[in-house]
Structure 1
Amino acid sequence: MESYSIENKLWEKNYKNIACIDEVGRGCLYGDVVAAAVILPPYTYIEGVKDSKKISENKRRFFYDIIYKKAIAIGIGRISSRVIDDINIKQATKRAMILAVENLENSRGQKITPDYLLIDAETLHTAYPQESFVRGEDLVHGIAAASIVAKVHRDTLCKEWSLKDGRYALDKNKGYGTKEHREAILKYGPTDNHRFSFLKKILK
Protein backbone atom coordinates (compact mmCIF):
# COMPACT_ATOMS: atom_id res chain seq x y z
CA MET A 1 0.00 0.00 0.00
CA GLU A 2 1.71 3.16 -1.18
CA SER A 3 -0.85 5.92 -0.66
CA TYR A 4 -3.79 7.06 1.41
CA SER A 5 -5.79 8.51 -1.48
CA ILE A 6 -9.19 7.56 -0.03
CA GLU A 7 -8.45 9.19 3.32
CA ASN A 8 -6.78 12.10 1.56
CA LYS A 9 -9.99 13.01 -0.27
CA LEU A 10 -11.84 13.10 3.05
CA TRP A 11 -9.14 15.11 4.80
CA GLU A 12 -9.34 17.64 1.96
CA LYS A 13 -13.07 17.92 2.73
CA ASN A 14 -12.11 18.80 6.33
CA TYR A 15 -12.99 15.48 7.93
CA LYS A 16 -10.47 15.27 10.79
CA ASN A 17 -11.41 12.17 12.77
CA ILE A 18 -11.74 9.41 10.18
CA ALA A 19 -12.25 6.09 11.98
CA CYS A 20 -11.04 3.10 10.00
CA ILE A 21 -12.48 -0.24 11.11
CA ASP A 22 -11.61 -3.90 10.64
CA GLU A 23 -12.22 -7.20 12.43
CA VAL A 24 -10.39 -10.45 13.10
CA GLY A 25 -11.58 -13.88 14.16
CA ARG A 26 -14.64 -14.15 11.97
CA GLY A 27 -13.84 -17.73 10.94
CA CYS A 28 -12.55 -19.05 14.27
CA LEU A 29 -14.03 -22.00 16.13
CA TYR A 30 -13.11 -20.50 19.49
CA GLY A 31 -13.36 -17.14 21.18
CA ASP A 32 -14.51 -13.62 20.53
CA VAL A 33 -14.68 -11.80 17.25
CA VAL A 34 -12.62 -8.63 17.74
CA ALA A 35 -12.87 -5.32 15.90
CA ALA A 36 -10.60 -2.29 16.02
CA ALA A 37 -11.30 1.31 15.08
CA VAL A 38 -8.29 3.57 14.44
CA ILE A 39 -8.18 7.32 13.88
CA LEU A 40 -4.83 8.51 12.53
CA PRO A 41 -3.89 12.19 12.28
CA PRO A 42 -4.54 13.77 8.87
CA TYR A 43 -1.93 12.90 6.25
CA THR A 44 -0.27 10.30 8.47
CA TYR A 45 1.23 7.38 6.56
CA ILE A 46 3.11 4.57 8.31
CA GLU A 47 5.49 2.94 5.85
CA GLY A 48 5.11 -0.85 5.76
CA VAL A 49 1.62 -1.05 7.26
CA LYS A 50 -0.61 -3.41 5.31
CA ASP A 51 -3.17 -6.17 5.80
CA SER A 52 -2.25 -8.01 9.01
CA LYS A 53 -2.48 -11.35 7.21
CA LYS A 54 0.38 -10.32 4.91
CA ILE A 55 3.01 -9.54 7.54
CA SER A 56 4.74 -11.60 10.20
CA GLU A 57 3.79 -11.71 13.87
CA ASN A 58 6.92 -9.74 14.80
CA LYS A 59 6.14 -7.03 12.26
CA ARG A 60 2.53 -6.86 13.44
CA ARG A 61 3.71 -6.24 16.98
CA PHE A 62 6.22 -3.62 15.74
CA PHE A 63 3.56 -1.72 13.80
CA TYR A 64 1.00 -2.16 16.59
CA ASP A 65 3.21 -0.11 18.91
CA ILE A 66 3.78 2.56 16.27
CA ILE A 67 0.07 2.81 15.49
CA TYR A 68 -0.74 3.29 19.19
CA LYS A 69 1.89 6.03 19.45
CA LYS A 70 0.68 7.91 16.38
CA ALA A 71 -3.09 7.42 16.56
CA ILE A 72 -5.48 10.15 17.66
CA ALA A 73 -7.71 7.43 19.07
CA ILE A 74 -8.17 3.66 19.09
CA GLY A 75 -11.18 1.59 20.10
CA ILE A 76 -11.65 -2.16 20.55
CA GLY A 77 -14.92 -4.09 20.34
CA ARG A 78 -15.37 -7.74 21.36
CA ILE A 79 -18.34 -10.07 20.96
CA SER A 80 -18.29 -13.43 22.72
CA SER A 81 -18.84 -16.91 21.33
CA ARG A 82 -22.21 -17.19 23.05
CA VAL A 83 -23.49 -14.05 21.36
CA ILE A 84 -22.05 -15.21 18.03
CA ASP A 85 -24.05 -18.42 18.41
CA ASP A 86 -27.18 -16.43 19.26
CA ILE A 87 -27.13 -13.80 16.51
CA ASN A 88 -24.70 -15.26 13.86
CA ILE A 89 -21.19 -14.18 13.00
CA LYS A 90 -22.13 -11.44 10.53
CA GLN A 91 -24.31 -9.61 13.04
CA ALA A 92 -21.74 -10.20 15.79
CA THR A 93 -19.03 -8.70 13.57
CA LYS A 94 -21.13 -5.59 12.99
CA ARG A 95 -21.82 -5.30 16.71
CA ALA A 96 -18.10 -5.58 17.48
CA MET A 97 -17.36 -2.85 14.95
CA ILE A 98 -19.96 -0.52 16.47
CA LEU A 99 -18.51 -1.17 19.93
CA ALA A 100 -15.04 -0.35 18.63
CA VAL A 101 -16.33 3.02 17.41
CA GLU A 102 -18.12 3.66 20.71
CA ASN A 103 -14.91 2.80 22.61
CA LEU A 104 -12.64 5.19 20.69
CA GLU A 105 -10.31 6.90 23.17
CA ASN A 106 -7.12 8.90 22.99
CA SER A 107 -3.98 8.09 24.96
CA ARG A 108 -5.36 10.00 27.97
CA GLY A 109 -8.53 7.91 28.07
CA GLN A 110 -10.74 10.66 26.67
CA LYS A 111 -13.60 9.65 24.39
CA ILE A 112 -13.13 10.72 20.77
CA THR A 113 -16.03 11.08 18.34
CA PRO A 114 -15.36 10.21 14.70
CA ASP A 115 -16.80 12.30 11.88
CA TYR A 116 -16.50 9.61 9.17
CA LEU A 117 -16.16 5.82 9.05
CA LEU A 118 -14.19 3.72 6.57
CA ILE A 119 -15.13 0.07 7.09
CA ASP A 120 -13.87 -3.25 5.81
CA ALA A 121 -16.68 -5.08 3.99
CA GLU A 122 -19.59 -4.14 6.28
CA THR A 123 -22.22 -1.41 6.50
CA LEU A 124 -23.06 -0.32 10.04
CA HIS A 125 -26.34 0.97 11.42
CA THR A 126 -25.04 4.26 12.78
CA ALA A 127 -25.59 7.96 12.21
CA TYR A 128 -21.99 8.54 11.13
CA PRO A 129 -21.35 8.96 7.40
CA GLN A 130 -19.51 5.92 6.14
CA GLU A 131 -18.05 3.99 3.23
CA SER A 132 -17.48 0.24 3.01
CA PHE A 133 -14.74 -1.48 1.00
CA VAL A 134 -14.36 -5.11 0.03
CA ARG A 135 -10.75 -6.05 0.89
CA GLY A 136 -10.48 -2.71 2.62
CA GLU A 137 -7.11 -3.63 4.16
CA ASP A 138 -5.64 -3.45 0.65
CA LEU A 139 -7.35 -0.20 -0.30
CA VAL A 140 -7.39 2.00 2.80
CA HIS A 141 -4.28 2.66 4.86
CA GLY A 142 -6.23 3.19 8.07
CA ILE A 143 -8.15 -0.07 7.65
CA ALA A 144 -4.82 -1.89 7.28
CA ALA A 145 -3.73 -0.25 10.54
CA ALA A 146 -6.98 -1.35 12.19
CA SER A 147 -6.43 -4.91 10.96
CA ILE A 148 -3.07 -4.98 12.73
CA VAL A 149 -4.48 -3.61 15.98
CA ALA A 150 -7.37 -6.10 15.95
CA LYS A 151 -5.08 -9.03 15.11
CA VAL A 152 -2.51 -8.31 17.81
CA HIS A 153 -5.26 -7.72 20.37
CA ARG A 154 -6.98 -11.02 19.58
CA ASP A 155 -3.72 -12.98 19.39
CA THR A 156 -2.94 -11.72 22.89
CA LEU A 157 -6.33 -12.99 24.06
CA CYS A 158 -5.56 -16.37 22.49
CA LYS A 159 -2.32 -16.62 24.46
CA GLU A 160 -4.22 -15.79 27.66
CA TRP A 161 -6.89 -18.39 26.87
CA SER A 162 -4.21 -20.97 26.15
CA LEU A 163 -2.55 -20.35 29.53
CA LYS A 164 -5.88 -21.10 31.21
CA ASP A 165 -6.51 -24.24 29.13
CA GLY A 166 -3.65 -25.59 27.02
CA ARG A 167 -5.50 -28.55 25.54
CA TYR A 168 -6.51 -26.73 22.36
CA ALA A 169 -3.17 -25.02 21.51
CA LEU A 170 -4.92 -21.69 21.06
CA ASP A 171 -1.61 -19.84 21.28
CA LYS A 172 -0.65 -21.57 18.02
CA ASN A 173 -3.90 -21.91 16.06
CA LYS A 174 -5.51 -18.66 17.34
CA GLY A 175 -8.84 -20.46 17.56
CA TYR A 176 -8.99 -21.43 13.89
CA GLY A 177 -10.02 -24.90 12.78
CA THR A 178 -6.63 -26.52 12.30
CA LYS A 179 -6.34 -30.31 12.27
CA GLU A 180 -4.81 -30.20 15.75
CA HIS A 181 -7.63 -28.03 17.08
CA ARG A 182 -10.37 -30.19 15.55
CA GLU A 183 -8.78 -33.33 16.99
CA ALA A 184 -8.60 -31.71 20.44
CA ILE A 185 -12.30 -30.85 20.26
CA LEU A 186 -13.12 -34.46 19.43
CA LYS A 187 -10.86 -35.72 22.23
CA TYR A 188 -11.78 -33.32 25.02
CA GLY A 189 -15.09 -31.88 23.83
CA PRO A 190 -15.83 -28.19 23.30
CA THR A 191 -15.53 -25.58 26.05
CA ASP A 192 -17.98 -22.80 26.88
CA ASN A 193 -15.83 -20.48 24.77
CA HIS A 194 -16.14 -22.55 21.58
CA ARG A 195 -18.66 -21.46 18.94
CA PHE A 196 -21.12 -24.33 18.89
CA SER A 197 -22.74 -23.04 15.71
CA PHE A 198 -19.36 -23.57 14.01
CA LEU A 199 -18.84 -27.12 15.32
CA LYS A 200 -21.78 -28.95 13.77
CA LYS A 201 -19.72 -30.71 11.09
CA ILE A 202 -17.00 -31.64 13.57
CA LEU A 203 -19.35 -33.01 16.24
CA LYS A 204 -21.88 -34.72 13.97
Structure 2
Amino acid sequence: MNFEFEQAAYAKGYQAVCGIDEVGRGPLIGPVCAAAVILNPEDEIKGLNDSKKLTEKKREILFDIIMERALAVGIGFASSEEIDEINILQATFLAMKRACESLPQKADFALVDGNKFPSQLGIQGEAIVKGDGKSPSIAAASIIAKVSRDRLMVELDREYPQYGFAAHKGYPTAAHYRALDEFGEIEGYRKTFLRKYYAKRKSTE
Protein backbone atom coordinates (compact mmCIF):
# COMPACT_ATOMS: atom_id res chain seq x y z
CA MET A 1 0.00 0.00 0.00
CA ASN A 2 1.37 3.40 -0.99
CA PHE A 3 0.22 7.01 -1.09
CA GLU A 4 -0.91 6.77 -4.73
CA PHE A 5 -4.38 8.23 -4.12
CA GLU A 6 -3.14 10.87 -1.71
CA GLN A 7 -0.31 11.96 -4.01
CA ALA A 8 -2.71 12.20 -6.97
CA ALA A 9 -4.85 14.64 -4.98
CA TYR A 10 -1.85 16.68 -3.84
CA ALA A 11 -0.64 16.81 -7.46
CA LYS A 12 -3.93 18.51 -8.36
CA GLY A 13 -3.21 21.25 -5.87
CA TYR A 14 -5.09 20.14 -2.78
CA GLN A 15 -3.36 21.04 0.48
CA ALA A 16 -4.69 18.56 3.07
CA VAL A 17 -5.93 15.11 2.05
CA CYS A 18 -7.72 13.02 4.66
CA GLY A 19 -8.77 9.40 4.63
CA ILE A 20 -12.19 8.58 6.11
CA ASP A 21 -13.63 5.24 7.20
CA GLU A 22 -16.31 4.00 9.57
CA VAL A 23 -17.04 1.02 11.76
CA GLY A 24 -20.18 -0.23 13.43
CA ARG A 25 -22.79 -0.40 10.71
CA GLY A 26 -23.81 -3.94 11.66
CA PRO A 27 -24.12 -4.03 15.47
CA LEU A 28 -27.45 -4.14 17.29
CA ILE A 29 -26.37 -1.60 19.86
CA GLY A 30 -24.21 1.49 20.13
CA PRO A 31 -23.19 4.25 17.74
CA VAL A 32 -21.58 4.09 14.34
CA CYS A 33 -18.11 5.60 14.51
CA ALA A 34 -16.09 7.32 11.79
CA ALA A 35 -12.58 8.70 11.73
CA ALA A 36 -10.77 11.14 9.48
CA VAL A 37 -6.98 11.07 9.30
CA ILE A 38 -4.47 13.30 7.53
CA LEU A 39 -1.13 11.51 7.22
CA ASN A 40 2.24 12.92 6.27
CA PRO A 41 3.27 11.19 3.00
CA GLU A 42 6.89 11.76 4.04
CA ASP A 43 6.37 9.82 7.28
CA GLU A 44 5.23 6.30 6.40
CA ILE A 45 3.66 4.31 9.22
CA LYS A 46 4.51 0.63 8.83
CA GLY A 47 1.80 -2.00 9.20
CA LEU A 48 -1.26 0.02 8.19
CA ASN A 49 -4.06 -2.13 6.82
CA ASP A 50 -7.80 -2.65 6.89
CA SER A 51 -8.57 -2.81 10.63
CA LYS A 52 -10.52 -6.05 10.14
CA LYS A 53 -7.32 -7.75 8.97
CA LEU A 54 -5.36 -6.78 12.08
CA THR A 55 -5.37 -8.34 15.53
CA GLU A 56 -6.80 -6.34 18.41
CA LYS A 57 -3.30 -5.99 19.88
CA LYS A 58 -1.89 -4.69 16.58
CA ARG A 59 -4.78 -2.21 16.21
CA GLU A 60 -4.13 -0.84 19.69
CA ILE A 61 -0.42 -0.37 18.93
CA LEU A 62 -1.13 1.33 15.60
CA PHE A 63 -3.81 3.53 17.19
CA ASP A 64 -1.21 5.11 19.46
CA ILE A 65 1.28 5.49 16.61
CA ILE A 66 -1.30 7.14 14.35
CA MET A 67 -2.43 9.51 17.10
CA GLU A 68 1.19 10.51 17.67
CA ARG A 69 2.42 10.82 14.09
CA ALA A 70 -0.58 11.79 11.95
CA LEU A 71 -0.87 15.44 11.00
CA ALA A 72 -4.49 15.44 12.19
CA VAL A 73 -7.09 12.99 13.50
CA GLY A 74 -10.83 13.54 13.85
CA ILE A 75 -13.43 11.16 15.31
CA GLY A 76 -17.20 11.35 14.90
CA PHE A 77 -20.16 9.32 16.12
CA ALA A 78 -23.83 8.96 15.21
CA SER A 79 -25.99 7.60 18.00
CA SER A 80 -28.40 4.67 18.01
CA GLU A 81 -31.24 7.19 18.14
CA GLU A 82 -29.92 8.93 15.04
CA ILE A 83 -29.50 5.58 13.28
CA ASP A 84 -33.14 4.75 14.02
CA GLU A 85 -34.26 8.19 12.88
CA ILE A 86 -32.37 8.63 9.60
CA ASN A 87 -31.22 5.03 8.78
CA ILE A 88 -27.75 3.52 9.06
CA LEU A 89 -26.40 4.82 5.73
CA GLN A 90 -27.28 8.44 6.49
CA ALA A 91 -26.05 8.04 10.07
CA THR A 92 -22.76 6.74 8.70
CA PHE A 93 -22.43 9.83 6.51
CA LEU A 94 -23.29 12.01 9.52
CA ALA A 95 -20.53 10.37 11.58
CA MET A 96 -18.10 10.92 8.69
CA LYS A 97 -19.10 14.60 8.50
CA ARG A 98 -18.53 14.99 12.24
CA ALA A 99 -15.15 13.26 12.02
CA CYS A 100 -14.07 15.52 9.16
CA GLU A 101 -15.28 18.63 10.98
CA SER A 102 -13.43 17.65 14.15
CA LEU A 103 -10.04 17.57 12.39
CA PRO A 104 -7.80 20.18 14.05
CA GLN A 105 -6.39 20.88 10.58
CA LYS A 106 -9.10 21.38 7.97
CA ALA A 107 -8.98 18.96 5.04
CA ASP A 108 -9.81 20.11 1.52
CA PHE A 109 -9.97 16.65 -0.09
CA ALA A 110 -11.28 13.34 1.28
CA LEU A 111 -10.66 9.74 0.33
CA VAL A 112 -13.63 7.74 1.60
CA ASP A 113 -13.87 3.97 1.92
CA GLY A 114 -16.84 2.59 -0.01
CA ASN A 115 -18.72 3.19 -3.24
CA LYS A 116 -20.56 6.40 -2.27
CA PHE A 117 -19.02 9.76 -1.52
CA PRO A 118 -21.01 11.67 1.11
CA SER A 119 -21.82 15.14 -0.21
CA GLN A 120 -22.40 16.17 3.42
CA LEU A 121 -18.64 16.50 3.86
CA GLY A 122 -18.72 19.80 2.01
CA ILE A 123 -15.31 19.22 0.39
CA GLN A 124 -14.04 17.53 -2.75
CA GLY A 125 -13.05 13.88 -2.71
CA GLU A 126 -13.62 10.40 -4.02
CA ALA A 127 -14.97 7.08 -2.81
CA ILE A 128 -12.65 4.09 -3.11
CA VAL A 129 -14.06 0.57 -2.95
CA LYS A 130 -12.04 -1.42 -0.40
CA GLY A 131 -10.06 1.74 0.17
CA ASP A 132 -8.92 0.59 3.60
CA GLY A 133 -6.65 -1.86 1.80
CA LYS A 134 -5.46 0.63 -0.84
CA SER A 135 -4.94 3.99 0.89
CA PRO A 136 -2.79 4.43 4.03
CA SER A 137 -4.96 7.37 5.10
CA ILE A 138 -8.16 5.32 4.90
CA ALA A 139 -6.47 2.36 6.60
CA ALA A 140 -5.39 4.65 9.43
CA ALA A 141 -8.95 5.98 9.71
CA SER A 142 -10.33 2.44 9.86
CA ILE A 143 -8.01 1.64 12.78
CA ILE A 144 -8.88 4.82 14.68
CA ALA A 145 -12.61 4.23 14.20
CA LYS A 146 -12.45 0.54 15.14
CA VAL A 147 -10.43 1.04 18.32
CA SER A 148 -12.52 4.05 19.36
CA ARG A 149 -15.80 2.15 19.02
CA ASP A 150 -14.44 -1.03 20.59
CA ARG A 151 -13.35 0.95 23.64
CA LEU A 152 -16.89 2.29 24.03
CA MET A 153 -18.26 -1.26 23.96
CA VAL A 154 -15.72 -2.40 26.56
CA GLU A 155 -16.92 0.45 28.79
CA LEU A 156 -20.52 -0.69 28.26
CA ASP A 157 -19.45 -4.23 29.13
CA ARG A 158 -18.21 -3.04 32.52
CA GLU A 159 -21.67 -1.65 33.22
CA TYR A 160 -23.59 -4.60 31.76
CA PRO A 161 -21.24 -7.62 31.86
CA GLN A 162 -24.08 -10.10 31.32
CA TYR A 163 -24.37 -9.08 27.65
CA GLY A 164 -20.79 -9.88 26.63
CA PHE A 165 -20.21 -6.61 24.80
CA ALA A 166 -16.43 -6.81 25.29
CA ALA A 167 -16.40 -10.01 23.24
CA HIS A 168 -18.86 -9.37 20.41
CA LYS A 169 -18.79 -5.53 20.43
CA GLY A 170 -22.55 -5.44 19.90
CA TYR A 171 -22.62 -7.47 16.69
CA PRO A 172 -25.44 -10.01 16.22
CA THR A 173 -23.81 -13.21 17.45
CA ALA A 174 -25.61 -16.23 18.90
CA ALA A 175 -24.29 -15.35 22.37
CA HIS A 176 -25.55 -11.80 22.01
CA TYR A 177 -29.02 -12.96 21.02
CA ARG A 178 -29.11 -15.35 24.00
CA ALA A 179 -28.23 -12.49 26.34
CA LEU A 180 -30.83 -10.27 24.71
CA ASP A 181 -33.48 -12.98 25.16
CA GLU A 182 -32.55 -13.46 28.80
CA PHE A 183 -31.98 -9.90 29.96
CA GLY A 184 -33.94 -7.78 27.47
CA GLU A 185 -33.03 -4.43 25.96
CA ILE A 186 -31.01 -1.70 27.60
CA GLU A 187 -30.57 1.89 26.47
CA GLY A 188 -28.55 2.15 23.28
CA TYR A 189 -30.07 -0.68 21.29
CA ARG A 190 -31.04 0.19 17.72
CA LYS A 191 -34.80 -0.28 17.60
CA THR A 192 -34.92 -0.60 13.82
CA PHE A 193 -32.29 -3.36 13.93
CA LEU A 194 -34.21 -5.37 16.53
CA ARG A 195 -37.56 -5.32 14.74
CA LYS A 196 -36.61 -8.07 12.28
CA TYR A 197 -35.16 -10.17 15.09
CA TYR A 198 -38.29 -9.85 17.22
CA ALA A 199 -40.52 -10.60 14.25
CA LYS A 200 -38.51 -13.72 13.46
CA ARG A 201 -38.55 -14.85 17.07
CA LYS A 202 -42.30 -14.34 17.29
CA SER A 203 -42.87 -16.39 14.14
CA THR A 204 -41.03 -19.35 15.66
CA GLU A 205 -42.83 -19.29 19.00
User: Normalising to structure 1: TM-score of the pair?
Assistant: 0.93
Runs of 4+ in 1 over 6 A off after TM superposition: none
Unpaired stretches in structure 2, ≥5 consecutive residues: 200-205
Whether the aligned pair in 1 keeps the contact of 2:3 and 2:41 (CA below 8 Å) is no
1:197 CA drift (Å): 0.8
Separation (CA, whole Å) in 1 of partners of 2:68 and 2:187: 36
**Structure 1: where are the runs of 5+ without partners?**
106-111
2:30 counterpart residue number:
31
Q: Is structure 2 residue 142 aligned with structure 1 residue 143?
A: no
Match of 1:60 in 2: 59
Q: What SS does the aligned partner of 2:6 have? A: helix
Alignment match, 1:44: 43
Matches within 5 A, 1:158-177: 158-177=153-172
Number of the residue aligned with 1:109: none
Residue 172 (structure 1) shift: 0.6
Shift, 1:77, TM fit: 0.5
Q: SS of 1:192's equivalent?
A: coil
Q: Deviations over 1:26-64 (max 9, x none)?
A: 001110000000011233321211000001000001111
| TM-score, reference length from structure 2 | 0.92
Please give the secondary structure, in 1, of the residue aligned with 2:185: coil
C-alpha deviation, 1:11, in angstroms: 2.5
Q: Structure 1 residue 129 and structure 2 residue 129: aligned? A: no
1:75-132 deviation line (CA, Å, top 9, x unaligned): 1110111110111000000000000001112xxxxxx211111111131223311100
Classify the secondary structure of the residue corresponding to 1:143.
helix
Tell me which amino acid in the other structure corresponds to 2:14.
Y
Partner residue of 2:107? Answer: 114
- The structure that is helix-richer by fraction is 2
User: Using the alignment, how far apart are the partners of 1:74 and 1:8 within structure 2?
Assistant: 19
Per the alignment, residue 188 of structure 2 pairs with: 193
For residues 54 and 183 of structure 2, the distance between their equivalents in structure 1, rounded to whole angstroms, comes to 33
**RMSD in angstroms over aligned alpha carbons?**
1.2
